[in-house]
Amino acid sequence: MRLSLDTRNIGNVTIVRCNGRIVSGGESESLRAHVTWLLRDRRAIVLHLGEIEFIDSSGLGTIVRTLTSTRQARGELKLCNVPEHVRKVLELSHLTKLFDSHESEEKAVAAFYGPGASAETPVRSGRSVLCLDSDADVLAYLREVMCRAGYDVHTSGRLGDALILMRVTHFDLLLVGPGMTASPSTQQAFQAACSGCPVIELGSEFSTRDAGEAGAGLLEKIEARLNPKSA
């Protein structure tokens, strides 16, 4: 089975879910090239290896080189959901201590957000905001506008991933776009998590409004919510 790579962002962390075989040739090259591409603007990367069926010496060397290139770019790469057969390969190769491995995606993400962890970007002095929307273009726009306004911005396109972030770090405000669907249990858990945090809902018209007007209006709402005028 050829290697496939499914990538998504959980806040400042990029999860790369690997499925198939990491072996000499195109598979190894595709993984190395993909991480190199991510390093253009991402610095916190997790390789999810739970669906890896086989890894050869070249494939393991690729992961080692990928770790090295990530650190050279002042980033960090972690592993998660390492299957037993891959774990044995790491042990036999005496590489277990080289990699920071975690049992789950959530624990790997938490390791990036924990005290003393190296952040993907310098810590901002502004308030921390989590933006949720199913449209990746809207998230990109929100990140740019709000970062320029001085906010510490984190984004997610899934409610389940948002819950992971809300368990590992604190947010001062949530921005929630329309059409964020999930299982009933996830939606219920998300609603409970939101009880202690201010929430601004982005209407369906936000993505189609004039970009300048939409951004300015949103920043005004955020300022009013985070810094209400005293009566």
**Closest residue by Cα to residue 72 from 111, 98, 43:** 43
Confidence of residue 40 (pLDDT cuts 50, 70, 90): very high
Structure tokens, 126: 């502004």
Q: Where are the domains of the chain?
A: 4-113, 128-226
92-131: pLDDT as tens digits: 888 889 999 999 999 999 999 977 665 444 444 578 999 9
Residue type, 188: Q
On whether the CB atoms of residues 21 and 52 are closer than 8 A, the answer is: yes
State the residue for tokens 């790369």: 16
Count CB atoms within 10 A of the CB of residue 216: 12
The overall longest dimension of the chain from CA atoms, in Å, is 67
User: Which numeric CATH code is attached to 128-226?
Assistant: 3.40.50.2300
At residue 230, does pLDDT exceed 80?
A: no
Pick from 101, 45, 95, 99: nearest CA to 74: 45
Structure token digits, residue 25: 């040739």
Handedness of CA 210, 214, 215, 216 (dihedral sign): positive
Look at residue 117 in the predicted model and tell me its pLDDT: 63
**57-72 and 26-38 are packed helices; what angle lies between their axes, rounded to 10 degrees?**
10
What pLDDT does 16 receive?
Answer: 98
4-113 belongs to CATH 3.30.70.20: no
pTM: 0.85
Cβ atoms of residues 198 and 227 within 8 Å:
no
Block residue for tokens 């982005």: 202
Side-chain-facing half-sphere of 203: CA atoms under 13 Å: 9
Quick one: pLDDT at residue 52? 96
- The first and second tokens of residue 195, run together, are 């009880």
pLDDT digits (tens, 9 = 90+) for 153-209: 999 999 999 999 999 999 999 999 988 888 999 999 999 999 889 999 998 888 888
Q: What is the DSSP letter of 122?
A: P
Predicted local distance difference test score (pLDDT) of residue 204: 85
Q: Please, what's the b/e burial string for 43-52 (b: 16 or more CB within 10 A of its CB; e: otherwise)?
A: bbbbbbbeeb
Confidence check: pLDDT of 46 > 50: yes
